[in-house]
Amino acid sequence: MKKIVFLTGAGMSAESGISTFRDSGGLWEQYPVEAVAYLSGYERNPELVINFYNERRLQLLEAKPCRGHELVAAMEKDFDVTVITQNVDDLHERAGSTNVIHLHGELMKVTSSRNPNSPSQIVTLTPEHPVIKMGDRAADGSQLRPFIVWFGEPVPMFEAAVEAVSQADIFVVIGTSLNVYPAAGLTAYAPPEAPVYLIDPKEVQWNAGRSFHHIMKGASAGMEELTQELNGKQ
């Protein structure tokens, strides 16, 4: 069974109503990135950051996977599928994907401020109790914080992502500006013989150093086209 690896970004979840950060009208226009996406911002004003991610979590609970998410999950019938996502939502999982690597953390999880990547400190929140507040403690006694990889923090799942991309028979990039590193650097690890697809409705300044097929559509329409093309080649 051929191995297909997806790298997905904000454009993957935009069709589900999840606010993007970088586009016009995105979250960075409403919140300074330094305040809510850097460790220094959390240390300076933890309550602001905790409330920001509480709002994102409540928004996520109202969202549903889009057709694009469903089509990625449906690929598991015919391919060995790994999804690497820059998104912190759980829409891939809710659509049925079973092998998802989250590069930037997971919104529905919280963890210790002292040891954020320790498995013993990570707690999964439920739709019934999706909010944390100041004074809520992790198992080690520190303040619970979002399980998010902020700018300047290490990306603990990066090596697992590199390994997956390096084994790909087909590599597909969906809805990412390819501006955020180290995630954007993953494209360099795809084997030279693996066909590469980029699904994005806009021109993307991607210096891939190799040929790739750009499907200039949104995530759902682009996945419809890709599914038809790959089914025709089997």
Burial class (CB in 10 A: 0-12, 13-18, 19+), 50: buried
CATH architecture type of domain 19-62+109-148? 2-Layer Sandwich (3.30)
- Residue of 69, 92, 102, 104 marked active site: 104
Count of other CB atoms within 10 angstroms of residue 65:
23
Lookup: tokens for 139: 């198992």
For the chain, 234 residues long, give each residue's pLDDT as a single digit of tens: 999 999 999 899 989 988 655 444 444 446 677 888 899 999 999 999 999 899 889 989 999 999 999 999 999 999 999 999 999 999 999 999 999 999 999 999 999 999 999 999 999 999 999 999 999 999 999 999 999 999 889 999 999 999 999 999 999 999 887 666 666 788 889 999 999 999 999 887 776 677 889 999 999 999 999 999 998 765
Indicate if 102 belongs to the active site.
no
Distance CA 38, CA 152 (A): 7
Whole-model pTM: value is 0.91
pLDDT at 117: 95
**CA–CA gap between residue 83 and residue 194 (Å, rounded):** 16
For domain 1-17+66-104+155-234, give the CATH superfamily: TPP-binding domain (3.40.50.1220)
Annotated domain spans of the chain: 1-17+66-104+155-234, 19-62+109-148
